[in-house]
Chains A and B, each alone.
Chain A
Amino acid sequence: MTTVIETAPQVATSTKPLWYVSDQTLDAHVPAGPLDRKWDTSKADMKLVAPHNRRKHTIIVVGTGLAGGAAAAVLGEQGYNVLNFCYQDSPRRAHSIAAQGGINAAKNYRNDGDSIWRLFMDTVKGGDYRSREANVYRLAQLSIDIIDQCVASGVPFAREYSGYLDTRSFGGAQVARTFYARGQTGQQLLLGVYSSLVRQMDRGMVKMFPRQEMLDLVLVDGVARGILARDLVTGEIKSYAADAVVLCTGGYGNVFFLSTYARGANATAVWRAHKRGALFANPCFTQIHPTCIPVKGDYQSKLTLISESVRNDGRVWVPKKAGDNRPPNEIPEEDRDYYLERMYPSYGNLAPRDISSRAAKRVCDEGRGVGPGGYGVYLDLRDAINRLGKKVIEERYGNLMEMYEQITDENPYEVPLRIYPATHYTMGGLWVDYKLMSNVPGLFVGGEANFSDHGANRLGASALLQGLADGYWVLPATLPDYIATAKPEPITTQDEAFAEAENEIQAKIRRLLAVNGSKTVATFHRELGHIMWDYVGMARSEESLVSALSKIRHLREQYWRDVRVSGGPEELNQQLEHALRVADFLELAELMAIDALARDESCGAHFRVEHQTAEGEAERDDERFAYVAAWGYNGAEPPILVKEPLVYENVKLAVRSYK
């Protein structure tokens, strides 16, 4: 696909450039015509498969979260033979379950000025003009049907006394368009999807493979035709063939070790697909969420989010003076700095995530942080409790407050919550076109695993939206079109491509077990997390990124010399599971640093200290960087950057201001 025309800087220790740039650009196959007609036009052109032929086609869906679970259920209902995989013991445990705050939809039930156009514009602006216009518009359009579908499948959304659906506000928006079910919206939406899924399992249309982890993608003649998965109970490597493969495997934020992700969340599926040829887009776009419970100690295994929705009623502040150690309730009003309200008066405590996180880091770096270690800020419900009463606050956030108290042993109704930013979401992911197909024919990617809708920063309550839009509507339309057009030949796992891929995996597992070194997998993972947080985290510079690169390479080299993985290959072996995941994180981490280095501008969550305004806000460079950076794997050679230029036909690029 490529001729190399331009090369990039190199690290001191190497004679190779860090990356190559392709002279070709990517075509996202966005249909022509007006923005609001694109999805309809596209659907009208799609080919169909006749009902009696559908069951002859097998589709593999990896992932049972909102995206994967919904796609599997609908494709099963349409009549395809669906094989659905997850690494947990049940599809109901995908990490979508942990989402708290809510889901956006442009219903405009409140008549507060919302519309599809406004949700679209908020999302494009929130993403700092680095997302694909047509995809975002489709997302906003589909939001309307999604709420209806969820209600119909029994999701008990919050209601007003009148019986109508209730909504609340989320960051980056001035309308109340977020639908919610207490602080457990993700749980209720996922259980809704799960119930559609079990219904198809009951009918035999979806075969479920829990506790199976995808370890490789199998291509035959350059087309995605199956996967290899490790049975996590027996250790057996199993082959599955299909006419198309869909990856909805979630985000890769665990590359930072500490994050709000589930322990098992991994990059393996997308990374292996990348190594088989799928382009990885904008890997450096990672969201650091402003409101998480601060880190306590070295032993810590994960970070817990306190939903952004609490910022609806909570006010964020730190003491005005550095070193003010008085207990929060003894600090009078005049000594408090409600810095978000001060700096961003029109959005206040609901300023978007990237901006709020950086502001928190800034006040802590100034020495005004609170709590042990000084890396925390207050999120104070006092005024809301005085205004609305404790009962209302309990009703809105009860389970979150309970969780906070469990973890910190502090009562958030009496003392302000302490929060600090943490890794939470990855906007980057596998590159897909308008129909959510990657550059590898037959490989589709949905949900957080793709890169498509959120640009350089995701707005709150839009990930659940995207998961369901991809899973309930987009993939069930575009997969049949692919099958009807490409007409894949029947295939079995006897094809030699499966045996070859299996040999590679077996060799890798043998190699890992044979190292028998001195450090555990967790030690390496934690170490990688420190490097990523310190050098590829909330503030990045050329210097920090170049040093991250050499540290990551060094750590990876040590890993394969000194890791200790106990147990054998053919048994339930959690050390081995973790070791395989960390091996992939150690490779992906490098690409993240390279991408961050190549994007010599600040945008959204990607903050290069070299590019900031006088007030410390991100400074974009549309002239040079209004593109999606899609990376091609190039073996032992440096990766190849292929650009998808971002063409805005309807939106005027502007400075993103929340002042």
Chain B
Amino acid sequence: MNLTLNVWRQPNANAPGRFVTYPVNDISPDMSFLEMLDIVNEGIVHQGEDPIAFDSDCREGICGICGIVINGIPHGGKASTTCQLYMRHFREGETLTLEPFRARPFPVLKDLIVDRTALDRIMSAGGFISASVGSAPDGNDMLVPKNNAEAAMNYAVCIGCGACAAACPNGSAMLFTGAKVAHMAELPQGQPERYQRVVAMLSEHDELGFGSCTNHGECSAVCPAHIPMSAIARINRELTQAALRGYSSATA
């Protein structure tokens, strides 16, 4: 296959960026998208230039570190991670524009690499169950109905890639936040901190500069883990309940 790449190149966080065009020839349709970029980079290194920086680690769709906006859509619009795209998904002769994930709290570090530590900070605000090691009762002491376990799992599979925030016109990470809130609210173990959690996570989300949700649904459409929009409905419901019980960002 032959393609043309239009790639966002930016040397570091403080320098301005620009698009650079690279022709790509003789690519096998069986290659993964990132293997194609590896080959482009080998060529760039041979020419003595700086290769395109992009994040990747597991290359099997689970670690959540990869993420490129391809033709305007995070991860290229196949609802999989960038690393799980294969060249057979693209057309011969196509021009692809590659950009970093953009959202206010995701500053670009270099080329296609952004800083997503903001997502860790949302989690740090309340995305946990305070279970000290050594204190746990037997795993079967508290039964979890299969339906709840399955529902919790449907939300718990979020890979934390940040595509939701990059896809959202408002730059909201509500899908990410909602996935964790919903996962823990489904489980009996998550109940004691349930309302405190949602309030704390959401106020951190807002403070970090993520936008609010106005139900565009772009987030769920690009989500490689298929987190449903119900995560956001869930977060709103939890928030209302929390307010009724007197939890606010001041008490969390």
Query: Which residues of A approach B to under 8 Å, CB–CB?
Result: 70, 73-74, 77, 88-93, 95, 97-98, 107, 109, 145, 147-154, 156-165, 181-182, 184, 187-188, 191, 194-196, 198-199, 201-202, 208, 210, 233, 262-264, 296-297, 299-302, 304-305, 399, 403, 406-407, 409, 472-473, 476, 520, 522-523, 564, 566-567, 571-572, 574-575
Q: Which 4 A-B pairs have the closest CB atoms?
A: A163-B143, A195-B128, A152-B136, A152-B131
Q: Which of B43-51, B166-174, B208-216, B236-244 contacts A (4 or more CB under 8 A)?
A: B43-51
- In the complex, are the beta carbons of A91 and B136 less than 8 A apart? no
Q: Does B75 contact A (CB under 8 A)?
A: no
Q: Which residues of A are found within 8 Å of B139, using beta-carbon distances?
A: 107, 147-148, 150-151, 157, 165
Q: Are B128 and A196 in contact (CB under 8 A)?
A: yes
Interface status of B251 (Cβ within 8 A of chain A): no
Q: Which residues of B contact A91 (CB under 8 A)?
A: 120
B63 touches A95 (CB 8 A): yes
Contact A301 B32 (CB under 8 A): yes
Residue A159 contacts which of B31, B84, B138, B145 (CB distance < 8 angstroms)?
A: B145
Closest to B28 in A: A297
Q: Which residues of A sit under 8 angstroms from B86, Cβ to Cβ?
A: 406-407, 409
CB within 8 A of A93: which of B57, B137, B152? Answer: B57
Besides the known contacts A92-B120, A153-B189, A157-B149, 15 further A-B residue pairs in the complex with CB atoms under 8 A apart: A93-B64, A95-B58, A97-B64, A145-B136, A148-B136, A149-B136, A151-B189, A153-B131, A154-B152, A156-B153, A159-B144, A188-B156, A210-B117, A262-B63, A520-B45
Assess whether B117 is in contact with A149, with CB atoms less than 8 Å apart. no
- In angstroms, Cα B143 to Cα A164, docked, is 6
Residues in chain B near residue A262, CB distance under 8 A:
57-59, 63
Residue B3 is within 8 A (CB to CB) of chain A in the complex: no
Q: How far is the CB of A198 from chain B (nearest CB, A)?
A: 4
- Asked if A571 and B48 make an inter-chain contact with CB atoms under 8 angstroms apart, the answer reads no
Q: Which residue of B lies closest to A572 (CB)?
A: B110
Q: How far is the CA of A360 from the CA of B155 in the complex (A)?
A: 38
* A150 / chain B contacts, CB cutoff of 8 Å: 139
B117 touches A299 (CB 8 A): no
By a CB distance below 8 angstroms, the chain B residues around A107 are 139
Q: Is B143 a contact partner of A182 (Cβ separation < 8 A)?
A: no
In whole Å, how far is A112's beta carbon from the nearest beta carbon of chain B? 16
For the side of the interface on B, what is the size category?
A: 35 or more
Binds A, one of B17-25, B34-42, B92-100: B34-42
Whether B183 contacts A156 by the Cβ 8 Å rule is yes
- For A567, the chain B residues whose CB sits under 8 A away are 50-51
Whose C-beta in chain B lies nearest to the C-beta of A181? Answer: B153
In contact, B109 and A182 (Cβ under 8 angstroms): no
A520 touches B120 (CB 8 A): no
B138 with A148: CB separation less than 8 A: yes
Q: Residue on A with the closest CB to B11?
A: A571
Pairwise interchain contact A297-B30, C-beta atoms closer than 8 A: yes
Instruction: Supply 8 A–B pairs (Cβ within 8 Å), ascending by A.
Output: A98-B62, A151-B189, A163-B145, A202-B125, A305-B60, A522-B42, A575-B45, A575-B51
Cβ contacts under 8 Å, B50 to chain A: 566-567
Closest B residue to A159 by beta carbon equals: B149
> In the complex, which residues of chain B have a beta carbon less than 8 angstroms from the beta carbon of A199?
124, 128, 130
Which one, A201, A300, A403, contacts B124 given CB within 8 A? A201
**A98-B62, A162-B143, A263-B59 known; A403-B149 Cβ under 8 A:** no
Among A77, A149, A406, which residue has the most Cβ atoms of chain B within 10 A? A406
**Structural contact, B60 and A302, CB atoms closer than 8 A:** yes
Contact at B58–A522, with CB atoms within 8 Å? no
Q: Tell me if A88 and B63 are in contact (CB < 8 A).
A: yes
Contacts of B159 in A (CB 8 A): 187
Which residues of A sit under 8 angstroms from B187, Cβ to Cβ?
A: 154, 156
- Contact code string B181-193 (vs A, CB < 8 Å = 1, else 0): 0011011011000
CA distance A159 to B151 in the complex (A): 12
Known: A91-B120, A198-B127, A297-B30. A263 touches B56 (CB 8 A): yes
State whether A574 touches B30 (Cβ < 8 A): no
